[in-house]
Structure 1
Amino acid sequence: MWKQLTICGVTAAIAAALFVKSSDTGCGVLRGHTHEVFTLAFAPDGKTLASGSGDFHLDPETEQLLEYGELKFWNMDLRTEMAAIESTARFWAVAFSPDGQWAVTGGGVQGQRAGVIQVWDWQNKKQLAAVTQDWLVQSLAISPDGKRLVTVSYGSQAILWDLPGLENPVVLEGHTDDVKSVAFSPDGWSVATGSWDGTVKLWDVETARCTSTLQMDGTARSVSTVAFSPDGETIAAGCGTINQRNAQQCGAVTCWEIASGTQTVTLPHNEYITSLVFSPDRRTLISGSRDGVVRLWDYRAGTELKTIPHAGPIESIAISNDAKLLATAGRERECAIRLWNLERLVGKVRATPPVAMVPTGDSKRR
């Protein structure tokens, strides 16, 4: 197990990143990362965007290849960099607490296959808690009440933690291959995990028991990302599939109705799906893929609304809670984050408040 994480430095308000905006497309570009961006997350109020990156770099003194990670926080009003954290570990995943006061990151040193989870008071640039893992931490999610965290590393398990101290780990075990993605349901009572075994499993957070297993069809494999709809009625999974006619890998997004376990729609991509997010309007699903395309779907009708081409494979997408901004990032030379005005892309998107689900008096759930 990797025990020594070195924080190289924390700098605030380093320099305003170059921001370029196109009036005809509504696209802006945030520049400042020096390596490819793996993860994006908006703070709940939409005023801050977090981005994590990492790669190898050559140490000029030892001439050895070392790993390097950057976690940046951007002011969305000014489109400037607010703070940055540098690390010897790559940042693969990031999420904000419900109040936006702290953030949780997952990552690690790929060359050593060693992982780390960290909780940050990002405004004061302080690490609040950290735990190491035997494998790279590649996906995480925070419960709506901010009290629980679920993470996955390479391996067939997911782990629940208490926040903010990263205490009382509870293992979710049942997959037969690597778990690649996790998500909390909007009511916080369930967790979804997607695995290379071709299944999505739903778990009861209180009992840590699997309550449902959703199976991809026979051609699907490598479930890479999962997401709940804002009303909690639908779950979407992105995966890689094999085209039976030419044996080439392609991608697809599959949606299920959770209550019945019925598969409702399959949405095609040309390659492996890397990121999924539902819009707060409860109508639009957005997917990113290694084919370098972000697609916007009416997932209820099963129709494509818009296609957004990029210069390289997509690694992460995020949407603000007011449904006005879409952020995308991936593997391209300039390591940029692209911002899109959703109203210009698909018309005005109405953000719908999440449904408040209140437990009854005899409920055992917290």
Structure 2
Amino acid sequence: MIVHMGHTDSVYSVAFSPDGKSVVSGSWDRTVRIWDTRSSSSIGETLRGHNSGICSVSYSPLGDLIASASYDETIRLWDPNAGQQSGEALKGDNTFCSVAFSPDAKLIASGSGGHSSSPTAYAVQLWDVQTRKVASNPFKGHTSYLLSVSFSPDGARVVSGSWDKTVRIWDTERGTTIVGPLEHASYVYSTTFSPDGAQILSCLYDGTIRFWDARTGRSVGEPYTGHTDAVFSAAFSPRGTYVASSGSDMTVRLWDVRTGRQVDQPFNEHTEIVRSVAYTPCGQYIASGSNDCKVIIRKTSIEGPDSDDDPDSDVDLRPVQEITSQMSTREMFQCLVKAGCNDLSSTIDPDQDAARIMSGGGFGDIWRGELNDGTKVAIKAWRTDAL
């Protein structure tokens, strides 16, 4: 376990870099800090510029920018390599409560508070990262503070959660609600898509976590119960098989999505409300930020690539190579195999009659079929022109 200390007020948000080598934190002390995930050291200087508390931070998928959203009605972009602000701040006319980069790193989504008379109050707003200009009209529908925004894996949708006790899924092209409003019994603090984009989860003031079908808006399974107070944040593991959550009960908890049950005992290292939780890209480590001003990184030992690391050794986070549209199909294939995906090219019968498409999406299809030895498998077929 690694404990990072340096903030002088509550840590509201944490996020890992795409390569897992650093974690960024945003605090009510008006600063952004970048921390080394292998040691208790900070990276570079403290990033200053906001005039009020920071509610949310997000790392660009390219790793070259950090976005921070503040009550000072600005979103600031930071260069983590240069350790300074990058360009002018994005300015609104309401407090910004949440921020997220799109999967292609070209857009930023923000969620705002404000006053009901303002045209951008309680709205989702898209921003162009390159021009630093508004990229859409405000997505209107919520009637109170938007505490959470998150893109779907394909970037075509944004999910938002609000103090108005609803969750909405928006079409990013049209700015219209396509699912919802999904009614809740209490305030919604956090929302996010599952890695496959099929579900969303919502974290509630009543201490529960709920799951929803991202296409139909229907409730999925029973709510997760275990936290003894409000749940502020939750994150899916990279494979989508686990969820980490944090809340007012000062704990971080792990859940098995397949069973809906809590895994092991909760982590109790924090001494105040835990406001944010995030998974590393490799899925082996979790970071959390708390009102106790600390950022803590801990090993989960339940997901991620095989490792011979000693549990008490320094964190070993493997670099992530991004698959891009500039790669050839062969390069993409090699990247997937290197990351641990099984090469089934020589073991699957391409002429079989048993293969059936089970699911389709923007990035590809899922097929169910058999290997030459009769083993039943499900295979994700990627559309390389959509990457």
The TM-score bracket by the shorter chain reads 0.7 to 0.9
Contact 1:121 1:128 in 2 (8 A): no
Contact 1:129 1:164 in 2 (8 A): no
Q: How far apart are the structure 2 equivalents of 1:356 and 1:122? A: 34
Structure 2 CA distance for partners of 1:320 and 1:223, relative to 1, 3 Å? same
Which has the larger displacement, 143-152 or 265-274?
Answer: 265-274
Q: Please, what TM-score do these two structures have when normalized by structure 2?
A: 0.73
Secondary structure (helix, strand or coil) at the match of 2:186 reads: strand
Q: Which amino acid aligns with 2:228?
A: N
Deviations 1:314-364 (A, max 9, x none): 1111111011211112112xx221110011xxx3445988x994489xxxx
2:28 counterpart of 1:70: no
| 1:144-155 to 2 correspondences below 5 Å | 144-154=103-113, 155=121
CA RMSD of aligned residues (A): 2.3
2:224 pairs with one of 238, 262, 267? 267
2:134 counterpart of 1:168: yes
| 1:308-347 to 2 correspondences below 5 Å | 308-309=267-268, 310-332=270-292, 335-343=293-301, 347=302
Q: How far apart are the structure 2 equivalents of 1:38 and 1:119? A: 17
| 1:64-103 to 2 correspondences below 5 Å | 69-83=30-44, 84-87=46-49, 88-103=51-66
Deviations 1:35-80 (A, max 9, x none): 221111101000111111124xxxxxxxxxxxxx221111223442
Contact 1:129 1:165 in 2 (8 A): no
Q: How far apart are the structure 1 equivalents of 2:28 and 2:216? A: 41
Shift of residue 179 of structure 1? 1.9
Which segments of 5 or more consecutive residues in structure 1 lack a partner in the other structure?
Answer: 1-26, 56-68, 109-113, 242-250
Which segments of 5 or more consecutive residues in structure 2 lack a partner in the other structure?
Answer: 114-120, 306-338, 342-359, 366-385
Q: Which amino acid aligns with 2:131?
A: G
| 1:10-29 to 2 correspondences below 5 Å | 27-29=1-3
2:183 counterpart of 1:213: no
Contact 1:317 1:326 in 2 (8 A): yes
Contact 2:205 2:232 in 1 (8 A): no
Deviations 1:247-304 (A, max 9, x none): xxxx111101223322113012221221111001211011111111111111232111
2:92 counterpart of 1:136: no
- Residue in 2 aligned with 1:304? 262
Secondary structure (helix, strand or coil) at the match of 2:283 reads: coil
Contact 1:138 1:152 in 2 (8 A): yes
Q: Please, what TM-score do these two structures have when normalized by structure 1?
A: 0.77
| 1:34-53 to 2 correspondences below 5 Å | 34-53=8-27
**Paired residue total:** 301
Shift of residue 215 of structure 1? 2.3
Q: Give me the identity figure in percent.
A: 29
- Residue in 2 aligned with 1:32? 6
Q: How far apart are the structure 2 equivalents of 1:156 and 1:263? A: 24
Shift of residue 126 of structure 1? 3.3
Q: How far apart are the structure 2 equivalents of 1:279 and 1:272? A: 21
Contact 1:282 1:352 in 2 (8 A): no
- Residue in 2 aligned with 1:10? none
Contact 1:235 1:257 in 2 (8 A): yes
| 1:180-191 to 2 correspondences below 5 Å | 180-191=147-158
2:251 pairs with one of 271, 293, 299? 293
2:188 counterpart of 1:223: yes
Shift of residue 142 of structure 1? 0.6
Q: How far apart are the structure 2 equivalents of 1:215 and 1:358? A: 26
Q: How far apart are the structure 2 equivalents of 1:352 and 1:325? A: 18
Contact 2:57 2:99 in 1 (8 A): yes
Structure 2 CA distance for partners of 1:289 and 1:78, relative to 1, 3 Å? closer
- Residue in 2 aligned with 1:59? none
Q: How far apart are the structure 1 equivalents of 2:277 and 2:41? A: 19
Contact 2:111 2:147 in 1 (8 A): yes
Contact 1:275 1:315 in 2 (8 A): yes
Contact 1:104 1:120 in 2 (8 A): yes
Q: How far apart are the structure 1 equivalents of 2:35 and 2:234? A: 22
Shift of residue 152 of structure 1? 1.1
Shift of residue 214 of structure 1? 4.8
Q: How far apart are the structure 1 equivalents of 2:76 and 2:40? A: 26
2:123 pairs with one of 139, 153, 157? 157
Q: Which amino acid aligns with 1:136?
A: T
Shift of residue 156 of structure 1? 2.2
Q: How far apart are the structure 2 equivalents of 1:352 and 1:259? A: 30
Q: How far apart are the structure 1 equivalents of 2:79 and 2:297? A: 25
